[in-house]
Amino acid sequence: MWQIIRPMLPMVLILAIPIVPFLLFGEQLEASLEQWREHPPASHWVALAVIGLLASDIFLPVPSSVVCAVAGNQLGAILGTFVTWLGMNLGAVLGFALAKHLGPALAGWFSRPSDLQRAGALAERLGPPLLAIARGVPVLAEATVLWMGLHGLSWRAFLPPIILSNLVLAVVYCAIGDYAGLAIALAASVAIPVALALAAERWLKNGSQTR
């Protein structure tokens, strides 16, 4: 039941960090956010920062759901969706290309062996659809991309599930960030990945039982 959740626990703690200040210093932060809204940074700087963070997510513990929610809040749903979708695609393509051409040593450097082994076992059963299923699940998403690159999956099979699933995630997180407010968006950016991990775990468990 907890095969996917266990390796996510450190990431969940990282994702929860932005929520704690809102719980402890809500009024002060609301005042700071109001000043931020009155004098926001230029949109192009926000967009570049978001793209850079998401493009590096394959190699660094970047809380991508939080970044996407903040992008939606700062850039609006439409522009935020485009920017986060671009950044997530760049990160996935970069990781896949490097794993595909530089081999196991690189993937082992950026992902734990246990994560790669779990991704490999799932990939053997599910193939490319696993890329779409895993995109919203921290750790498993990156490990799956690296594993598919290691095993020579074609670009034609890799790109469609990545592009479409990244678009869905970008739309959801940016819409929440734009319309629900930053505090709610940050809370959702923690809750949604955990819910997706639980759903993926149950789906995979049911799939294995029917085989």
The pLDDT tens digits of the residues spanning 11-20 come to 444 445 455 5
Residue 31 lies in a domain: no
Residue 6 lies in a domain: no
The pLDDT tens digits of the residues spanning 126-141 come to 667 878 888 888 777 8
Tell me the pTM: 0.70
Q: How confident is the model at residue 120 (pLDDT cuts 50, 70, 90)?
A: low
At 137, list the tokens: 């699940």
- Kindly state the average pLDDT of the residues 108-112: 61
d(CA 66, CA 72): 10
Structural domain harbouring 129: 42-209
Domain count for the chain:
1
The pLDDT tens digits of the residues spanning 151-178 come to 778 898 899 999 999 999 999 999 988 8
Residue 24 lies in a domain: no
**HSE-CB of 147 using CA atoms within 13 angstroms:** 26
10 Å CB burial of residue 29 (0-12, 13-18, 19+) is middle
Q: Which residue has the tokens 């970069």?
A: 94
Residue 58 lies in a domain: yes
Residue 17 lies in a domain: no
Nearest-10 Cα torsion for 39, 45, 51, 54: -50
Q: Which amino acid is at 183?
A: A
Taking the CB of residue 106, how many other CB atoms lie within 10 A of it?
18
10 Å CB burial of residue 191 (0-12, 13-18, 19+) is middle
Residue 37 lies in a domain: no
